[in-house]
Structure 1
Amino acid sequence: MLQTISKKNSKTVMLLLAKWGKLHFGALKKHSKIEGKSLTNALNDLLSEGLIKKECEDPTKRTAKVFYSLTPLGKKALKIYELAEQLEQERDEALNSGININGDVTINGDGVIIGNNSKVHIKKQ
């Protein structure tokens, strides 16, 4: 499941469904700007994990719209995105303010490790 929700397109679809509640394929494609085949793959992955469900507008119609929405499990999985965002924010704040590790090594706001009379530069992502 983590592999599925960590994919960019899966996250986009889940966040759109969280915002709008229920969307059909065309609306998902329009709002997400994900190409058709990639969107179909993302939807199928999310369906197979039980994170979203699909409902047919009118099964008797040949061209009935199929709507997608989050399942209760999908709504719980959204918390992972919130947690990841919080962790990234905390990491960024720590890097910008400097971190002291064991009193020997400090990583300053520029991403420079200072300790043991040497400086090593690390690249921020």
Structure 2
Amino acid sequence: MYLKILSKKYVKEILYSLTKSDIDYSEFKEMFPETSKSALSRLLTELTDYKLIDKIMIPDSKYQIPSKKFKITPLGLEALKIYELNEKLINQLFSEFKNKKNSEVNEKGPKTVNSYDNVNGDNVIVNNSQNSSINVKK
């Protein structure tokens, strides 16, 4: 169940932003302007229901409606470790893939392509070493 909520759009950004400070609903709306108010409210409510964030009602003397601020919970901080583990696994897989590709190239040795042509009576040799540079000799 938690993986499902953690995989939703903007959850990672919301949780990370709450590690810096408590954030007002309007600030979230500014952070994600392409999201509708109802979708953002639903997401924040879900995160609150899962106890990943807390909603704090702050009475305001100017308005009759109190403002809402959100803060991350200890469970929300623990959930961030899942994102960090995911990033670590992706980096490790990428590194292994890169090393495998490099070892395949090293096992095969440098790839050199030579061609010989007679262009306008001039003998031309084209040397392409590992597809990185092309040398033309007359």
TM-score by length of 1: 0.71
1:83 paired to 2:85: yes
CA RMSD of aligned residues (A): 1.8
Structure 2 unaligned regions, length at least 5: 103-138
CA distance in 1, matches of 2:80, 2:34: 20
**What amino acid does structure 2 have at the position aligned with 1:64?**
P
Q: What percentage of aligned pairs have identical amino acids?
A: 27
1:47 paired to 2:48: yes
Partners of 1:16 and 1:28 within 8 A in 2: no
Which SS does the other structure have where 2:10 is aligned? helix
CA distance in 1, matches of 2:19, 2:98: 32
Query: Across the two proteins, how many residue pairs are aligned to each other?
Result: 99
Listed one character per residue, the Cα deviations across residues 86-119 of structure 1 (whole Å, up to 9, x for unaligned) are 1111111111111xxxxxxxxx36xxxxxxxxxx
Q: Report the alpha carbon displacement of residue 59 of structure 1 after superposing the two structures with TM.
A: 7.3
CA distance in 2, matches of 1:29, 1:16: 13
CA distance in 1, matches of 2:69, 2:34: 17
Listed one character per residue, the Cα deviations across residues 49-89 of structure 1 (whole Å, up to 9, x for unaligned) are 01000011117852221000101111111111111111111
CA distance in 2, matches of 1:33, 1:15: 18
Q: How does 1:70-109 map to 2 (within 5 A)?
A: 70-98=72-100, 108=101
Q: Which one has the largest radius of gyration?
A: 2
Structure 1 unaligned regions, length at least 5: 99-107, 110-125
Which SS does the other structure have where 2:95 is aligned? helix
